[in-house]
Amino acid sequence: MPYKEQFIEFMVRAGVLTFGDFITKSGRKTPYFINTGNYRTGAQAAKLGEFYADCIMENIESGIDALFGPAYKGIPLSVACAIALSNKYGRDLNYCFNRKEAKDHGEGGSMVGYKLKDGDRVVIIEDVITAGTAMRECIPVLKSAANVEIAGLVVSVDRMERGTGNLSAIQQIKEDFGIVTYPLVTVREIIDYLYNREVDGKIYIDGAMRERMENYLKEYGV
């Protein structure tokens, strides 16, 4: 089974991808929700790292010097991905992450892990992206550490919906910063794969749920 399909089932089984009635942070009523805070075991972290590693190997050419995980959810993701790249693909990459508040004692600074150098090619590892606020916060952190090249942003799911304007958050990041985002899966891939398909004996997207998701994308999608 391709990693995208495995990842969709993985999210469902972990209770990360759920269906029902939810309100997003922006106040939209959505029929599905993704809560990556529901990953909680070592086995889940190991498998999640593999999915991110698979996505990097499929989409981003060699020559990456480091993975960067924005605090806080990006921290375990970047570490798990670095481990998976080493164990599964034999690619031993550096990783680093930022503190929310700069440390004023010891070595000081706001960065932990690998010390970025001018010219390094960095991949940002994040969970989900909505308005792109976290990216606007972490890019100055990276650029202040060194004159790095951001080779890409990897996220778990592209919801394929507008931010505050007519572009999606992913499209806005490309326009504002020239950074390409690589999602493990898109909401369209989720719909297409799970529609009328049983996962552990249960159908999560039947005709009614598909119609609700399609209507949501008609209203807010790009």
Q: List the domain boundaries for the chain.
A: 3-220
Q: With left for phi above 0 and alpha for psi between -120 and 50, is residue 211 left, alpha or beta?
A: alpha
CATH 3.30.360.10 for domain 3-220: no
CA angle 139/143/146 to nearest 5° reads: 145
Separation between Cα atoms, residue 162 and residue 217, nearest integer Å = 9
pLDDT beyond 90 at 189: yes
Residue 172 to residue 195: CA distance in whole angstroms: 29
Do 147 and 176 contact (CB within 8 A), yes or no?
no
Could you tell me the pLDDT band of residue 106, with boundaries at 50, 70 and 90?
very low
Residue whose tokens read 């009635």: 21
- Per the structure block, which two tokens stand in for 83? 């481990």
Active-site residue set: 103, 105
If you write DSSP's letter for every residue of 112-149 in order, what string do you get?
EES---TT-EEEEE-SB-SSSHHHHHHHHHHHHH---E
Per-residue pLDDT tens over the stretch 25-65: 778 899 999 998 899 999 999 999 999 999 999 999 778 99
* Residue that the structure tokens 């759920």 belong to: 18
pLDDT at 164 (0 to 100)? 73
Q: What is the pLDDT of residue 103?
A: 55
Residue-wise pLDDT tens digits, 114-148:
999 999 999 999 988 766 677 788 888 898 899 99
